[in-house]
Amino acid sequence: MGEPARVLVVDDEQSITDFIALGLRHEGFDVRTAGDGRAALRAVDEFKPQLVVLDLMMPRMDGWELCRALAGDRNRGVIILSARDETTDRIQGLELGADDYLVKPFEFNELLARIRAVLRRRQPDLTRVVSAGELSIDTATREVRLGDRLVELSVREYDLLHFLALNADQVLPRQRILDEVWGYNFFGDENNVEVYIRYLRQKLGDTAHQRIQTVRGVGYRLRCRAAAATEA
């Protein structure tokens, strides 16, 4: 599936950096943290992150100065995460080169969505092709192949398979799949997931449920390699 996207989280409150880092690592990102602007610049040189999430009020070098120092790289995204919610602060941050501005307190899922959106804009080739075993998903053309065979999917089927492939070999609870693929405002139930899993299995020829496994009482897992039928 390629290398994970590299994200640097910069904040002088360790509880915040730990919280964000834990969540992003769970989502498959490669994460480093820094407690101030100067440490962040060193981490940028060593780690070469594709996106930096930074606070504004920090010791030694504040977020304004750090944002200004990072503005020269068109391939690196910047998201400001700050308790300062004045419109003037938002405007200043964006004018200094930040891609987005999120106010504390925040929901992790909103931060995650914004990170993914910035990476899509800044690094369009980063996740263009997502692979999971014989499956290949071109996110630019939305073309799905199983080996050499082109697989025709509906919009929802594609979104579901793409999400499973991004998290290949991980057990994904039904509710999480529903939230991520159908959206948090969707009023349906988990039966929708079961129905579309069945559609995907039919189109992928997965009659033995070896490629998309059911984990009883939890959810589903897309395997990179075909597994024994006894595991399904």
108 phi and psi angles, rounded to 5 deg:
-60, -40
Within-domain flag for 179: yes
Question: What mean pLDDT is predicted for residues 127-147?
Answer: 82
Q: How far apart are CA 39 and CA 43, in angstroms?
A: 6
Name residues whose C-beta falls within 8 Å of residue 191's C-beta, 6 or more positions apart in sequence: none
Q: For residue 229, is pLDDT > 70?
A: no
pLDDT of residue 187 exceeding 80, the answer is no
- Whether residue 106 sits in one domain with residue 145: no
**Mean predicted lDDT score pLDDT of the chain:** 87
Average pLDDT of span 78-89: 91
Which residue, 73, 89, 122, sits at the end of a domain? Answer: 122
Domain match, 78 and 140 both:
no
Kindly state whether residues 87 and 161 are assigned to the same domain.
no
Q: What is the pLDDT of residues 91-124, one digit of tens each?
A: 998 888 899 999 998 899 889 888 888 887 777 6
137 and 62 co-located in one domain: no
pLDDT for 227 equals 40
Region class of 209: left (phi > 0), else alpha (psi between -120 and 50), else beta: left
Looking at the structure of the chain, the number of domains it has is 2
The mean per-residue pLDDT over the stretch 70-95 comes to: 88
pLDDT given at position 128: 67
One domain for residues 80 and 116: yes
Same domain assignment for residues 13 and 105:
yes
Model confidence at 232, in pLDDT bands (50, 70, 90)?
A: very low
* Res 125: pLDDT: 59
Same domain, 60 and 110: yes
What residues contact 26, with CB distance under 8 A and at least 6 apart?
none
pLDDT in tens, 2-59: 567 899 999 999 999 999 999 998 877 899 999 999 999 999 999 999 999 999 998 8
Residue 36 lies in a domain: yes
pLDDT at 178 over 50: yes
- Find out whether 10 and 66 touch, Cβ atoms under 8 Å: yes
Give CA separation, 11 vs 15, 166, 179, in Å: 9, 28, 29
CATH number of the domain residue 87 falls in: 3.40.50.2300
What range does the domain containing 28 cover?
6-122
What is residue 213's DSSP assignment? Answer: E
Q: Do 21 and 116 share a domain, yes or no?
A: yes
Q: At what angle do helices 87-95 and 63-70 cross, to 10 degrees?
A: 30
Q: Do residues 158 and 192 share a domain? A: yes
Question: Do 41 and 85 fall within a single domain?
Answer: yes
Strands 212-215 and 219-222, by their bridges, are antiparallel
Would the pTM of this model clear 0.75, i.e. be above it?
no
